[in-house]
Every structure is written in structure tokens, then in C-alpha cells.
Amino acid sequence: MKKFQKVLSLALAFGMCVSMFAGCGSGSDDKGGSSSAADKTESSAAQSDSNEESTPPAENNDEWITLRVEMYDRSIAGFNVEDCWQLHYIQENFGDPNHIKVEWVPVSRWEEGTILNTQLAGGTAPDICMTYGGDLVQQYVDMGGIYALDGMLDEYAPDLKAFLGDNVLEYGQFDVGNGKEQFALPARRIIVATQVNYIRKDWLEKLNMEVPTNVDELYEYLKAAKEQNLGGEKTIPYASDLYSADPFYGWIYQMDAFIDYSQVTEEDWVAHHDFHYLLPGAKEAIRWMNKFFNEGLVTDYFGIENSDQTKSDRVNGYDGFWMGNWDAAWRMEDSFQIDLEKNVEGASYIACDAFKPDSEDKPHETYTAAGQYIFIPASVPEETAIAALKYLNWMCQPESLFALQNGEEGHNYTTVDENGIPTDLKNVDDTEDAYKLHATDGAPICNGFYYGSDELNFAASANAYPGYTDEVAHSLEISNTFGYEPISFTRTIQARVDYGTTVISKEAELLVQTVTCKPEEFDAKWDEYMNALLTSGGQQIIDEQREAYKEGAYRGSYPMAE
């Protein structure tokens, strides 16, 4: 019996040890990951060395360099980031001739910021990193974590420089005390359009109304839709819910329409970047919304984020009016229009601009010409950084870019039209696994399909929504009309780093409280929550942005300048 106990206890202790070390292993995943990545690099380098020996020796006896490139993993079924058509194409056409072994490092699209942070802190980040987080890049620049590219672009990436252009490149320039320097390479954004209003075309026809062009006409439409219950019992004339990550994102369109531009100077414009609700007149846009809400014309769960409910309301045909991105109604992966047609016969959405109070043109904010940021960590050795620039430079050659974005004829599309645009680009789900690709991720220097000119690019974009080409083109036109690029800053606005997220949460409160309160309380609520917003750091941000204006440390300009 004693012996049995001994054996048992030993076995137990052993078992615990094993399970603990198993825990250890997964706990220190980072280190394990990095060492195995290093192993891989070495072994692949060794492999390519041996390749070199077996093939006839190249004239220059260059060592092979391994270039690790961050690549978003969007969990597309059948698409293996580390072994895909685009990567093979790159290796064959760029890597092999230049003695560079290109590796793609998969990073989950939805956690990219967190993963990037961890990798940079642990020194395991890829040689080419990318992120949509502009603030993140600026913080990295301030901490000295990003490779300064000044001078190197001219030497190693002249085509890239030409492709991006000065306007886009400027968004990657930051001032850390030695004047503006190029740290990041922003992607060139092909379509800068952001939002439009969507309205039910069939409802307008039933009501015998024209597409509203100002808020009074919109009000008439909403009221009539409610009175006649055009969407049934659950009619929501104006569907709107909160986007708490950036509460005023869907509102800038309305607010800009109400601003009294005669009272705004360029200095105010820059200082109030992201604070348009403080510009004279903008408040009236929210007052209208308060009126709509109190008359039961707006989603009654306004203020509670409930995207599932929002989506089902929309495709079930309850919604009469909403704000969305220029292609939101027709997006392939989540097409409201297609689902709506299935549920309600003859129902359709069209884009409009319902906020033009004085029937004059009002500016629309667009995206900046710069898309996501590409950068090289400061810890990367010089020769790898050069290889990285060569890689990006190669990528923007028309031939390479076309291949990376469109794939291979016969597999990803049948043929091209007279403008060189593929006639029937396949959806990733319909493509054979071996040819699956993600256009924007594979060629990160370009956000959107590029066919040589704006005209062709826009036409090609509309083509991507088969069956709705005209509607999409119309929407794009509305969204692009009198567009202006938002202001951005070339130095860190420290107050934004300190208080930015707090102010965003106060914005959400301001918006929700002022929209849902009684009309007679509107002004009091506005003052109360505005005060909270300003004292939570909002005023500091505005003041610092005003300073930045005086220093000239900003990009963009006042769209209504005489």
C-alpha cells in the first residue's frame, strides 16, 4: 500500500509539472514565436543558399535577405496568407531577381493594433508594418520606434514616391523637432468619398414626393412616412443609432450643412478639427434631430448600440432614411439592398443629400487622400530597410499593381475591357483556393482599385456592384461633391493622446442626451454636456490645435476660404 502511495504521489507530482510547463509554453508564446521565426528565417536562408549552389552561380555573390511583411489575416476560408498566389507572384517577380526572400506574417485584422503593440515592444515586429491607426503611428514616431526614411525614398523608391505623390506623402511626415521628416508611407486612397443619406425611393413615389434637398422637406417626408406607416407598424422614418467609437462620424455631414461659414475663420476651422459641433450653427443640426426624436420619427433605442437590431430593421423595410458610407446599401458582403428586395417587393434605397438648408452647396468631409500607414520599425537593419523600400517600389509599377489587385486572367477574371479593366472580377468566395487574394492587403500602398486615372477608377468601383452600377455611381457623385479633406496635424497633439478617448465618450453622451431630451430642455442639456466635454480635456485639445495652427503644424485647409 505504501509503495502504491509513493508511486501515485510521484505520478501526480510529475503530472502537475508537465501541465505547468505546458502552461509556461503558452504563457511565453511571444518568445517561443520569435525564436521559431528566427529559426525559420535561418533555415529558409540556408535553403535559399543551397538553392543558389545548385543553380548556376549568379554574377554577384549577394547574400539572400529575408523580408518579413505584416499581412492582415481576415480568416477568409481557403486563403492561406503564408502561401498564396499573391505571395508566389511577388517572390517570382520581385524576390528571386533581387535575392530577397519575402515572407508574409499573418496578423488578425481585428486585433492588429494590439498585436502590433506587443510585437514592437517585444522586438518581433515584421520589417514592414501597417496599421490604420494614425494616432498609433504618431505615438511610435514620438517614442523613436519608426525608421526615418528621409533621403532613402529618392534613392531606392523613386517610383513609389511618384505614385503616392506629395499630397499623400505629406501625411506620413511628422515633426519630432528637426522639421518634417518622412516616417510613414501612407497608402494612396483611390476613393475619398465617405457618407451619403439613403432614402426609400418607393416611399417617395408612394407619397408623391421629390427627393428632399433640405431639412424642411426631409421633415415632411419623415412625418408622412410615419403617418401612413409606410414600413408597417414598426416604421422607423429616420433610423439612427449610436456609433460610440466615433459618435459624430455620421453627423459631420449634417452639422457641416448648418454651419454659418461667414463666422468661421481658417484658424477656427483648424482648432475645431473633430469639434465641428462647436462651430456656429452646427448645434441646429442636433436640434432638428431632437425634434425628430420627440415626434417619434427616430429609432427609439437611439443611444443603445444594437447593430443586429439596426440591420434587421433595415432589411425588413422599416427604415425610411439613414446615413451610411457611399456604398453601404450595396456592399457585396452585407447588401441591405439585396436583402430588402427579397423581403419587400419593389423596395429600394437611393442616395441623396437632404441637408442643404439654403439650397447652396455645402462642403462634405471626405477621407484624406492617405489610407493606412506603412512603416519600418527603427530596429530593422539598414539593408533590410532598403529591401523593404525596393519591395514597395516594385509594387507600385503598373504591371505589378494590376496583378496583385486583380489576380490572373482566366482564374480571377475572364478578360479585360477596352480600358484594361477586368470585366468580371470574381468574388473571393467564388475563386479557386490557389488563386484567392485580397487586393488591398496584398498591395497595401494602394487603398482601392487603381486603373490609371480617377475616371477609370470611379467607373471600375461602380462596376464592382453588379446590378446597381448607376445607383452606386450616383451615390459616389453626391458624396464627392464639394468634398474637403479633414485637417490633420504634423506634430502630436498631446492633449489628444491624454484625453482623446475620454472626449469621445463625452461626445457620445452629449449626442445621446441632447437628442433624446425634451425639446424645451435641449439648450440646458447641450450646455451641461458640452461643459462636461470641454472640462474633460476637450478645451485642452482645441487650444493645442489652435497652437498647432499658429505654428503651421497642420495639413489641409479651410474649404470655404474666399
Partner 1 sequence: MVKQASSKGTKRKKGLYWLRRDWRLYAMLAVPILWYVIFCYKPMAGLIIAFQKYNIFTGIKGSKFIGLENFEFVFGMRDFGIALRNTLWLNFLDLLFGFPVPIILAILLNEMRMLKLKKVSQTLLYLPHFLSWVIIGGMVLEIFAPTSGAINALLLKWGLVESNVPFLTNGAWWTFTYVLVGVWQGMGWGTILYLAAITGLDTTLFEAAQIDGANKLQQIWHVTLPGIRSTIVVLLVMNIGRMMSIGFDRPFIIGNTLVQDTCDVISTFVYRAGIQNNQFARATAIGLFQSVVGLILITVANSVSRLFDEQGIW
Binding site residues, partner 1, CB under 8 A: 6, 9-10, 12-13, 16-17, 20, 23-24, 27, 117, 120-121, 136, 139-140, 143-145, 242, 244, 247, 300-301, 303-306, 309, 378-379, 497-502, 505, 508-509, 511-513, 516, 532, 535-537
Q: Measured from the CB of residue 255, what is the shortest distance to partner 1 in angstroms?
A: 18
CA 389, 174, 166, 250 dihedral sign is positive
C-alpha span between 406 and 401 (Å, rounded): 8
Q: Measured from the CB of residue 539, what is the shortest distance to partner 1 in angstroms?
A: 11
Cβ-Cβ contacts under 8 Å for 328 (sequence gap 6 or more): 198, 336
Q: Measured from the CB of residue 119, what is the shortest distance to partner 1 in angstroms?
A: 10
User: Residue 185's beta-bridge partner residues?
Assistant: 374
Q: Which is nearer to partner 1, 118 or 325 (CB)?
A: 118
Q: Measured from the CB of residue 363, what is the shortest distance to partner 1 in angstroms?
A: 28
Q: Which is nearer to partner 1, 125 or 446 (CB)?
A: 125
Q: Which is nearer to partner 1, 16 or 332 (CB)?
A: 16
CA 201, 460, 467, 336 dihedral sign is negative
Q: Which is nearer to partner 1, 13 or 46 (CB)?
A: 13
Q: Which is nearer to partner 1, 177 or 552 (CB)?
A: 177
Cβ-Cβ contacts under 8 Å for 514 (sequence gap 6 or more): 286, 290, 522, 525, 526, 529
Q: Which is nearer to partner 1, 6 or 40 (CB)?
A: 6
Helices (H), 317-397: 336-343, 382-395
Q: Which is nearer to partner 1, 242 or 354 (CB)?
A: 242
Q: Measured from the CB of residue 145, what is the shortest distance to partner 1 in angstroms?
A: 4
The cell numbers describing 241, all together, are 443609432
Distances (CA, A) of 288 to 225, 285, 293, 514: 17, 5, 9, 11
Q: Which is nearer to partner 1, 190 or 323 (CB)?
A: 323
Q: Measured from the CB of residue 340, what is the shortest distance to partner 1 in angstroms?
A: 19
Distances (CA, A) of 180 to 139, 174, 510, 550, 552: 15, 5, 36, 16, 11
Q: Measured from the CB of residue 308, what is the shortest distance to partner 1 in angstroms?
A: 8
- Backbone angles phi and psi of 458, in degrees to 5: -65, -45
Vertex 454, ends 405 and 324: CA angle to 5°? 80
Q: Measured from the CB of residue 62, what is the shortest distance to partner 1 in angstroms?
A: 30
Backbone dihedral region for residue 269 (phi beyond 0: left; psi -120 to 50: alpha; all else: beta): alpha
